[in-house]
Structure 1
Amino acid sequence: SIVSLGQPQSKYTAFEELGRGGFGAVYKALDTSSGQQVAIKIMSLEEGMSEELAANEILAMRDNRSPNIVTYLDSYLVDGELWLAMEFMDGGTLFDVLGAVYLEEGQMGTVCRECLQGLHFLHSRQVIHRDIKSNNVLVGMDGSVKLGDFGLCAQLSPERSKCSSSMGTPSWMALEVVRGEAYGPKVDIWSLGIMGLEMVEGEAPYEGETRLRVFELMERNGPPKLQHPRHHSALLRDFLRCCLQADEDRRWSAQELLQHPFVTSGHPASSLAALIISAKQVQEDWR
């Protein structure tokens, strides 16, 4: 069995909703046995949520443990709902951080490096995340940066070396996905490039447009570009160019990008702590 037996209601208490999406909701809770805070994603299997995708998410997290991937703790089946317990990241999402503070290029390089370490690990194990964006990158008050939300991931195998289903969030989707072509792990690199644009511009290209309109604009305009390229360093521009190659073969891999000077010149992850703490402070002040 993928899930644990038993009643999680007795194990976890003090639920506080953190967010809600098409799948269900995410809560912060207290693990009564360890006294630690955890995050619990509760997904209703009745609301058209495919059991295969749910099982996929659990297995992807459980079987791929890495310092740059949110740690899986446990899962349960409760009255037609799937409970997925994982480590609680106290800094929130990168999306939250970007809404509160501006990142300098060195900090962007650090975030990209941490994400690339997670992607290199996943890709070496033939896993494609398929939904890399600031909303699915989680941060800790200690500066840690981890990939989360494996709800759309795919496991490749010797029999299945490419995917073809149109998965992801439109503004972050690689051109080959938009075109309905077979694709591999480098779709995640494209999405990381879009996330780079998000860190610089504050939002992804064509955000807010309908799915079809995004696809139309991407087909017409090709890889998105910085609005004011001269305001940014040659290193950042080149890093984004390497991520946002229309031709998958010319797009760099996670392993190659980890050697890119934009990424190697970044600081240790702990240097992000002050930024994440101040972003939290700004959010508190808004409340």
Structure 2
Amino acid sequence: MTTKKLNIPDEIMSKKDPEQYFQIVEKLGEGSYGSVWKAINKATGIPVAIKRVSIDNDLEDMKKEINFMKQCKSQHIVTYHGSFKKDNEIWIVMEYCGAGSVCDAMKITGKTLSEEQIAVVSKDCLQGLAYLHSVRKIHRDIKAGNILLNNNGESKLADFGVSGQLDGSIVKAQTVIGTPFWMAPEVIQEVGYDYKADIWSFGITCIEMAESKPPLFNVHPMRVIFMIPNPSRPPPKLTEPEKWSDEFNDFIALCLTRKPEQRPTAVDLLKHPFITRAKSHSLLIPLIDEQDQIIGEKGREAALGLDTKEDDEEEEEEEDDEESGGSDQGTMRPARRNNHNDDDEEEQYDSGTMVITENNNYDTMVVNNDDDNNDISATMKMNSSKKPFVPAYMSQFAKQENNSNSGTNSKYSGLSLEDLQKKLEEIELDKDQKIKEIMEKYNIAKQSLSSVIDEKKSSLVR
């Protein structure tokens, strides 16, 4: 299907009214980027998907995404048709994949994918990645939410808002970008990375399709970015590997090879037995049919939990909590026990870890953006030259930070330089005293525990 067949302007961000060409049918989804809608081309009757993004987002980044999509020519990549500028939004018109994302299918049906279904999806995705990597493009945000299904059960890679291009002058990308749970270690470490980062993300996605969540899903994203690069942590794996075939376990292990130079390429993985034995796309049809039935009964927004009634009730509950002196952390709750018990470190933090619940909004994060600058910074930073993108989960801290910072500057602004220096010394002394008190409590507790351990060991010897 080409742009001309759809009979719409073949230009970047046409100023013509898109509603001349399209009849909006329903909302397909929404996120921090904006919203996606199903629409019908009035001239041809062909359904399309329209991504509507506020111009408050970086316009240059949207142009990059559009140009990136225009350059992609693969049946395993969602096809770009055109774009419009309407009021305060950019409308990006794309191929319509009627079954939505793999993530949405799991959420609506309450089911994970079978191993055979994962193999079928994986084969399509790897072919899409092999194409992207062959033209020196990196997706950088592979996850089930960015894998779309059409009604035939075919999978296509989508959402290129954070994708990057490697050219002759840039051998490796430096931007820390993606969704924390799926990020490769080398991306977070800022040591430079290439298309192998997509392979790691795809390995995490395979676990997500098998278990509905990525590893470490109940750990806060800002803690996850410190845990993933830790070389002492073994690579993630399926929670119950014995329930899956040796081929699938081996396939995931290869994708999640910690050293990128030892990690296989998409072309290599297409030769793996787990992929070569993949069956027909028809294996996905029962999942798609079940999803369609639920949507038919409830409506798409209710099936996805996007209906406003539930949102209003949640907001009222949060306001009640705040008025009664409750938490101001929004939808953050104490973590439940994580099924991915990779080591004692996670268990140690289980009781205190705060997690995002209810909406499962795993958002893409950009920490530093050096794609257009060969003078790469060695430290993690927000891009100061543009309005920074703030992931939705970071808003959970906004109120707490505002409360803690409000009035701080005004509190000290009237003091002289000498008084300020004295105040700083007092704070340092207070800090040292608090540390001393904590260490004393720690030593007492440690001594008590050691005594009990010694007693138990002695009793065992007797």
Same fold (TM over 0.5): yes
Paired residues of 2:112 and 2:211 also in contact (CA < 8 A): no
> Are positions 1:187 and 2:197 aligned together?
yes
CA distance in 2, matches of 1:73, 1:12: 12
Kept after mapping to 1: 8 A contact 2:180/2:221: yes
Which residue in the other structure is 2:253 paired with? 241
Report if aligned partners of 1:111, 1:145 keep a CA contact under 8 Å in 2.
yes
| CA offsets 1:119-161 (integer angstroms, 9 cap, x no match) | 0000000110000000010001211110011111001100112
Aligned to 1:277: 289
User: Normalized per residue, which structure has more strand?
Assistant: 1
Aligned to 2:338: none
Taking the aligned partners of 2:101 and 2:222, their CA distance within structure 1 comes to: 27
Match of 1:88 in 2: 96
Q: Tell me the CA shift for residue 3 of structure 1.
A: 2.7
| Matched residue type, 2:247 | L
Matches within 5 A, 1:7-18: 7-18=17-28
Shift of 1:285: 4.7
Aligned equivalents of 1:140 and 1:24: distance in 2?
22
**Pair 1:2 & 2:12 matched:** yes
1:168, CA displacement in angstroms? 0.3
Rg larger for: 2
Between the aligned partners of 1:162 and 1:80, the Cα distance in structure 2 is: 35
Query: Which residue is 1:114 aligned to?
Result: 124
Q: 1:46-90 CA distances to partner (integer Å, 9 max, x unpaired)? A: 2xx222221111111111021111111111122342110011111
Q: Counterpart of 1:75 in structure 2: which amino acid?
A: S
Aligned residue identity for 1:91? A
Off by >6 Å, runs of 4+ in structure 1: none
The answer on whether the counterparts of 1:242 and 1:251 sit within 8 Å (CA) in structure 2 is: yes
Q: Which residue of 2 aligns with 1:163?
A: 173
Aligned equivalents of 2:41, 2:150: Cα separation in 1: 19
Worse overlay, 56-65 or 101-110: 101-110
Aligned with residue 26 of structure 1, among 36, 44, 51: 36
Taking the aligned partners of 1:269 and 1:165, their CA distance within structure 2 comes to: 35
Local SS of the residue matching 1:157: coil
Quick one: which amino acid aligns to residue 131 of structure 1?
D
Q: Please point out which of 58, 61, 64 is paired with 1:56.
A: 64
Q: TM-score, normalised by structure 2?
A: 0.59
The two structures, once aligned, show a CA RMSD in angstroms of 1.6
2:207 is aligned to 197
8 Å contact from structure 2 (residues 123, 275) kept in 1 = yes
Aligned 8 A contact 1:40 1:86 in 2? yes
Conservation of the 8 A alpha-carbon contact between 1:94 and 1:139: yes
Q: Is the 8 A contact 1:114 1:269 kept in 2?
A: no
Letter in 2 for 1:96: D
**Aligned residue for 1:216?**
226
Contact 1:173 1:191 in 2 (8 A): yes
- What is the rounded CA distance, in whole Å, between the counterparts of 1:144 and 1:138 in structure 2? 8
Q: Which has the higher contact order (CA 8 A, sep 6+)?
A: 1
- Contact 1:97 1:280 (C-alpha < 8 Å) held by counterparts: no
- Alpha-carbon distance in structure 1 between the residues aligned to 2:179 and 2:63: 21
Preserved contact between residue 128 and residue 157 of structure 2 (Cα < 8 Å)? yes
Distance 1:65 1:217, change over 3 A: same
Scaled by the length of structure 1, what TM-score is found?
0.94
1:123 and 2:123 aligned:
no
State the partner residue of 1:140. Answer: 150
**What CA deviation, in whole Å up to 9, does each residue of 1:189-245 have, x standing for no partner?**
111100100111120012243222112332342421211111111000000011001
- How far apart are the structure 1 equivalents of 2:170 and 2:17? 37
Which shows bigger deviation, 92-101 or 257-266? 92-101
1:176-200 superposed Cα distances (whole Å, 9 cap, x missing partner):
0121220001111111100100111
User: Aligned partner of 1:58: which letter?
Assistant: I
Alpha-carbon distance in 2 for matches of 1:180, 1:31: 44
Greater helix content: 2
> Which amino acid in structure 2 is aligned with residue 273 of structure 1?
I
- 2:350 is matched with none
Q: Structure 2 stretches of 5 or more lacking a match?
A: 1-10, 304-462
C-alpha displacement of 1:279: 3.0
- Contact 1:197–1:226, Cα closer than 8 Å, also in 2: yes
Q: 2:39 aligns to what SS in structure 1?
A: strand
**Percent of aligned positions with the same letter in both sequences?**
38
Q: Identify if the C-alpha distance between structure 1 residues 129 and 12 changes in structure 2 by more than 3 Å, giving closer, same or farther.
A: same
- The answer on whether the counterparts of 2:141 and 2:179 sit within 8 Å (CA) in structure 1 is yes
